[in-house]
Structure 1
Amino acid sequence: MTLAAGRGLWCCHAMTKDAQTPTFTTPQGREIAYHLTQGTGPTVVFLGGFKSDMGGTKAVYLEDWARAQGRAYLRFDYSGHGESGGAFTDGAIGDWFEDACAALTLTDGPLVLVGSSMGGWISLQVARAMPERIAGMVTIAAAPDFTEDSMWGGFSDAQKAELMAGQVALPSEYGEPYIITRRLIEEGRNRLVLRDPLPLPFPVRFLQGTADADVDMSVALRLLDHAQGPDMRLTLVDGADHRFSDDTCLKLITDAVTDVLQTATDKG
């Protein structure tokens, strides 16, 4: 185990048991797995969704694209997700925001954040916390404040009572049920971004499918209306679902990232 060089001097680096995926330990003691591709900046960073991982289609596609472009790129798993340590049910939005902030210390210079679903919410929190490092942002079916507006706001009285007793299970199209904990809901109320001013002083491209059954199109419209920035655009893709991972959607993602990088470079 070696001490990280550069920005993240407090991160202890090691290799996972398969000797392929590097990890580091956050200041809070959580082990985070990641893949960092060296290249020119700004570094593109993929922030995944709720219960997703860095081995997903979009994250890997972007890595392949970044390699072909000679672009620096980072993907990682939040604690309790993918190859990172910890139990999913122990985590909350603030923990995963802290994980993201810790992962960003592995990079230098400006960043373009690509946030998918919950990763869009976390990207917005990161931009609020460290605006000086953000050169641009692309979100894919961003789900800001979903623990409050979608989960808690959509629960029946019985589900709310069950949750307040500890946790509630929600069905999922992606496999086993989601276990939603009381801490996830209550801690999420400290992380909301749609209740206060949300300045985004850099190029932003919001991508949203019209057939998304998990994040309604109205969320994208609300985010566009609420955020404040000089260069924000929303692209609605007819018939695209929450995965946003077919060939057409994947090209739209890299086109948006390219646009943001070019715009940021021209302004710089």
Structure 2
Amino acid sequence: MTKPHQLTTPQGRQIAYHHTKGQGPCVVFLGGFKSDMTCTKAIYLQDWAKAQGQSFLRLDYSGHGVSSGDFLDGAIGDWFEDALAVIEAVTSGPLVLVGSSMGGWISLLVARAIPQRIVGLVGIAAAPDFTEDSMWADFMPAQRAEIMAKGQIGLPSEYADSPYIITRRLIEEGRNRLVLRAPLALNFPTRLLQGTADVDVPPAVALRLLDHATGDDIRLTLVKGADHRFSTPACLTMITEAITDVLKATR
């Protein structure tokens, strides 16, 4: 496995990334909460991009994978800054953003920050504003009191043996990054992919994003029986088909 490159962000964080050179636009994969750039979707898309001769970028946010930092110190704004720093340092020209789960939120923040460079977006079980609308909204009063008093709380996870630790900073900082409370213009081809069996980010989230965003070419595909991982061979093929569809619109 090729050793990743390292970038020091303006905030001093060391971010690991892999950049596959090729024709543009550059396809940028942004992963999910506690995921990393070795996940099934990231590697599959890198292999696909190489076969297509397509420029491709994947990265680890701080506190994720082999990047610097402790996950518990991070928040949405930090991870957005990490992604933007690597994108601006490593790529030039037009971009197609591919955001999985939390990466869908990060991709919307990137699109809002540099709209002039974005020519397409693919969301995979995109989870905008999840710290507020899923975590905080679902906390019981006792849980809210605990996280405010102790600074963190443990939540069970089906993806790990130990609980997810959710910090007060993650919740509070996330309120500065919400994208569904103000106009959200997606003035480029946007494809949203969502499994009906996703219990982590239910279809209602995708429908809310579809209803909230404005743009002339936004489509939502619901996949019956697909779960949050969206990593079966059929689902992976749907992702590359969505990217290909977006890229065709740019040529």
TM range (shorter): over 0.9
How far off is 1:21 after superposition? Answer: 1.7
**Contact 1:92-1:188 at 8 Å conserved across structures:** yes
Structure 2 equivalent of residue 195 of structure 1 = 181
1:44 and 1:112 in contact (8 A); partners too:
yes
Q: In the alignment, does 2:118 pair up with 1:134?
A: yes
Q: For residue 177 of structure 1, report the CA deviation from its aligned partner.
A: 1.3
Unaligned runs of 5+ in 1: 1-17
Q: In the alignment, does 2:230 pair up with 1:244?
A: yes
Match of 2:132 among 118, 133, 148: 148
- Aligned partner of 1:169 among 154, 164, 172: 154
User: Which residue number corresponds to residue 263 of structure 1?
Assistant: 249
Among all aligned residue pairs of Structure 1 and Structure 2, give the percentage whose two residues are the same amino acid: 71
- Aligned partner of 1:97 in structure 2 is 80
Tell me, yes or no, if the aligned pair for 1:202 and 1:264 is still in contact at 8 Å: no
C-alpha distance in structure 1 between counterparts of 2:124 and 2:202, whole Å: 12
Unpaired runs of 5+ residues, structure 2, are none
Q: Distance in 2 between matches of 1:159 and 1:52?
A: 25
Among 86, 92, 100, the residue aligned to 1:108: 92
**1:138 and 1:204 in contact (8 A); partners too:** yes
SS at match of 1:82: coil
Contact 1:145–1:193 (CA under 8 A) maintained in structure 2: yes
User: Following TM superposition, by how much is the alpha carbon of 1:19 offset from its aligned partner in structure 2, in angstroms?
Assistant: 7.9
For residues 147-192 of structure 1, the C-alpha deviation after alignment (integer angstroms, 9 at most, x for no partner) is 0000000000111011102100011111121110000000000000
1:9 aligned partner: none
Residue 20 (1) aligns with residue 11 (2): no
Question: TM-score, length-normalised on structure 2?
Answer: 0.98
Report how far residue 91 of structure 1 moved.
0.2
Task: Give CA deviations for 1:47-88 in whole Å, capped at 9, x if unaligned.
Answer: 000000000000000000000000000000000000101000
Q: How far apart are 1:103 and its partner, in Å?
A: 1.1
Tell me the TM-score normalized by structure 1.
0.91
**How many Å apart are 1:22 and its aligned residue?**
1.3
**CA distance in 1: counterparts of 2:29 and 2:237, whole angstroms:** 15
CA shift digits 1:207-227 (9 cap, x unpaired): 000000100100000000000
* Residue 61 (str. 1) matches residue 44 (str. 2): yes
The equivalent of 2:221 in structure 1 is 235
Distance 2:245 2:205 in 1: 23
- 1:78 partnered with 2:64: no
Q: Could you say which residue in structure 1 is the equivalent of 2:32?
A: 49
- Alignment length (residue pairs): 248
Inter-partner Cα distance in structure 2 for 1:78 and 1:162: 27
Instruction: Give the residue type in structure 2 aligned to 1:101.
Output: L
